[in-house]
A and B are shown apart, each in its own frame.
Chain A
Amino acid sequence: MRTLLFLLRKEFRQIFRNVTILRMILLMPVMQLLILPNAANFEVKNITVCIVDHDHSVGSQRLVTSITASGYFKLALATPSYRDAMQLIEADKADLILEIPNGFDRNLVRDNKQTLFIAVNAINGVKANLGAAYLNTIITQYNAQLRTQWIQPTRFGPVSQIEISALNKFNPYLNYKVYMVPGIMAFLVTMVAAYLSALNIVKEKESGTIEQINVTPIRKYQFILGKLIPFWVLGLVVFTIGLLVMRFVYGIVPEGSVFLLYGFAVVYIFSVLGMGLLVSTYAETQQQAMFVAFFFIMIFIMLGGLFTSIDSMPAWAQVITRFNPVRYFIEVMRMVVIRGSTFDDIKMHFLAVIGMGIVLNGWAVLNYRKTS
């Protein structure tokens, strides 16, 4: 126990002496939490649309107004020439063309039917898809308005209509930040715990100090605990900073228990530290450790559900995410912070992360024995 205390004291002394790392540990979570949620926004806005209006009627004007008033579209050009509009698409200055045919309004009244033409610039797939969908919705709404105006209820009897109204549970205004901030916190804690622990141990290998340590009576478990505990603490410090930024900058108050969050963070960091430790047992240089850790963290983040929904991944990718600790932490963060989940809701997450922690740490410790 005494030896462990001395090891910890030495470890913290070295960490506090490395000003760059210390600054990164404190600044990184704040900076990332301030920048990322504001920049990485999935809502598609500012879709530029060209309207080729051959009709110039009251009806076509009303359609154009309801499109531009929706907030999603920016009118790039209103022109009677389809070729002009196409040129803007080719110059990548417009995303959509809506062509309103000549006699749109008159024919709609007379024939009860009319055709509109939408051309989509599909280079940015997401924007194109969503843009076309938004535009469709607006046109459908416009259509529905027209019908209620024209159809005389007394003559034909009530027309049944289905109107869908959606209620956004847990995040009523669909505030993107409420969704992103807890996820980014999970990512930050992962970075600090996995990278720093892997690099720190490999640094001892590189400088040869590990040889000097190995010739002392110090036990392996003491050495490993001496390495894990400081980064455990640092991980929780980063987590705390993240919670404070979330509360005071974004005003997000966790619906669930903060203690539950900390409880999960403690288990989660143990598991991620195991990954760092494992990398360090295989890597001989800090460069190797950096690259291997980067490789895994990249995959973990991409398949972690932070940016893309796991449910929309192909089945094989969903299987991979089951072995991704980051996924569980992101889910737990969102469940507890946004939905107010209790321990009962996330107990399977606890089990999964504890299991991974035992496997990773156990593997690392076994591998450590073998190589010395």
Chain B
Amino acid sequence: MKSTSNPTSNAVVLNGIGKTYENGAVVAVHDVSFDVRPGELFGLIGPDGAGKTSLFRILTTLLLPDAGTATVAGYDVVKDFRAIRGIVGYMPGKFSLYQDLSVEENVNFFATLFGTSVDENYDLIRDIYVQLEPFKHRRAGKLSGGMKQKLALCCALIHKPHVLFLDEPTTGVDPVSRKEFWEMLQRLKEQGIAILISTPYMDEAMMCERIALIQGGSIMSIDTPENIMQAFPATLYAVRATDAYHLRMDLLAEAFTESCHAFGDEVHLTLHTEGIAKAAGMEDVVAAMRARGHADVEIREIAPSIEDCFIRLMGQHHA
């Protein structure tokens, strides 16, 4: 499929995109701007209800934005929606292929809708399709969750799109299939296809080249995962004791605590670095917790994860 878009321009550009529902009562997306570069794997990271799906629907021309402009492969999402529909691949969060058609029939059907055939772009989907091949006469509705995702990816790729939009492709998929799925994406990236992917799983953010952290319809931070983690402004400690629940409550009660969140059986803690509560070190924390009756108190300094960054940004955002 040919296109007249400028190859040096960004694959996706958003400029102050806004969208509200129910006559402005519900704000889905507010003033969102970011770019996805050609051939980039860009992650949109945020919890459920953050506005990820609304952004995807705007970029895939299924929804009209209320404010701002956006382009995909140089085409405006409002004016040139028809051109965009021919050159993007979209995989909605919910499995949306024909459950009563077989694997093969689904792939062929979507190929013909884009005026192409499976053979024409077979090299692009080969890695994925060989895994589906044994089930090609099975109806799509009877596939396992992981297989469904692979089939959906095949159908989204069948016309060699310039940009691939994947809305929470790994939600509800087992860990092994999730890992496989990300490996497939890395290979696709090598083919030069720009990929915009959303996920609520913070650990998957590390697989992206750049990420945007989104919360409540607004972007909190856009950078590479490494830069976002380095930008974490405080020293982070992991504290552990036998009673993790009360440990967190007791830490929150201390004056030196700046923030304190439960992570599994640990508590991630940052300390005040200024003011009267300053100067607390690891020993002070341990001593304070022992004084409150906690046994086996351990503390160590850790590198912040994306999730730590996300929670911290979320706190600032609300303040």
Contact = CB atoms under 8 A, between A and B. Distances in A.
Interface of A: 2-3, 6, 10, 13-14, 17-18, 207-209, 211-218, 372
Listed residue (A6, A208, A215, A216) with the most chain B CB atoms within 10 angstroms of its CB: A215
B85 interface: yes
B100 A217 contact: no
A59 B88 CA distance: 95
B113 A218 contact: yes
A208 B94 contact: yes
B95 A208 contact: yes
B170 interface: no
Given A3-B112, A14-B100, A217 B95 contact: no
B109 interface: yes
Contacts of B97: 209, 212
A217 B114 contact: yes
A112 B85 CA distance: 94
Given A216-B85, A216-B114, A217-B82, A18 B100 contact: yes
A10 B140 CA distance: 14
Nearest to B165: A215
Interface in B70-99: 82, 85-86, 88, 90, 92, 94-99
Contacts of B42: none
Given A208-B92, A212-B92, A217 B98 contact: no
B90 A212 contact: yes
A230 B86 CA distance: 26
A122 to B, nearest CB: 55
A11 to B, nearest CB: 10
Listed residue (A18, A207, A216) with the most chain B CB atoms within 10 angstroms of its CB: A216
A318 B109 CA distance: 48
Interface of B: 60-62, 82, 85-86, 88, 90, 92, 94-101, 105, 109-110, 112-115, 155
B186 to A, nearest CB: 24
B100 A17 contact: yes
Contacts of A372: 62
Contact of A10 (B109, B115, B155): B109
Given A6-B113, A212-B90, A216-B110, A207 B96 contact: yes
B100 A215 contact: no
Nearest to A219: B82
Query: What DSSP secondary structure best describes chain B's contact surface?
Result: loop
A372 B92 CA distance: 16
Nearest to B161: A215
A2 B99 CA distance: 23
A211 B62 contact: yes
Contacts of A214: 61-62, 85
Contacts of B110: 212, 216
A219 to B, nearest CB: 9
Given A3-B113, A6-B112, A215 B101 contact: no
A208 B148 CA distance: 14
Contact of A215 (B90, B105, B109): B90
A372 B319 CA distance: 37
Contacts, number: 63
Given A216-B85, A217-B85, A217-B115, A207 B92 contact: no
A13 B82 contact: no
A14 B62 contact: no
Contact of B61 (A6, A13, A209, A215): A215
5 contacts: A10-B98, A13-B101, A208-B94, A208-B95, A209-B96
B100 to A, nearest CB: 5
A207 B99 contact: yes
Contact of B96 (A14, A17, A212, A218): A212
A217 B101 contact: no
Contact of B105 (A13, A209, A211, A216): A13
Contacts of B94: 208
A372 B62 CA distance: 6
A308 to B, nearest CB: 41
A6 B107 CA distance: 13
Contacts of B86: 216-217
Contacts of B62: 211, 214-215, 372
Nearest to A208: B96
Contacts of A209: 96-98
Nearest to B61: A215
Nearest to B113: A216
Contacts of A3: 112-113, 115
A217 B105 CA distance: 19
Contacts of A218: 113
Listed residue (B82, B85, B113, B155) with the most chain A CB atoms within 10 angstroms of its CB: B113
Contacts of B112: 2-3, 6
B166 to A, nearest CB: 13
A211 B92 contact: yes
A226 B85 CA distance: 19
Listed residue (B101, B105, B112) with the most chain A CB atoms within 10 angstroms of its CB: B112
A199 to B, nearest CB: 14
Contacts of B95: 208
B85 to A, nearest CB: 5
A241 B92 CA distance: 42
A42 to B, nearest CB: 44
B63 to A, nearest CB: 9
Given A211-B62, A215-B60, A6 B99 contact: no
Contact of B88 (A18, A213, A215): A215
B98 A14 contact: yes
Nearest to B108: A6
Contacts of B109: 6, 10
Nearest to A10: B109
Listed residue (A14, A208, A211, A217) with the most chain B CB atoms within 10 angstroms of its CB: A217
A21 to B, nearest CB: 11
A207 B140 CA distance: 12
A3 B101 CA distance: 18
A18 to B, nearest CB: 7
Contacts of A207: 96, 98-99
Contacts of A18: 100
Given A6-B109, A208-B92, 15 more contacts: A6-B113, A10-B105, A17-B100, A208-B94, A211-B96, A212-B96, A213-B113, A214-B61, A215-B60, A215-B61, A215-B85, A215-B88, A216-B86, A216-B114, A217-B113
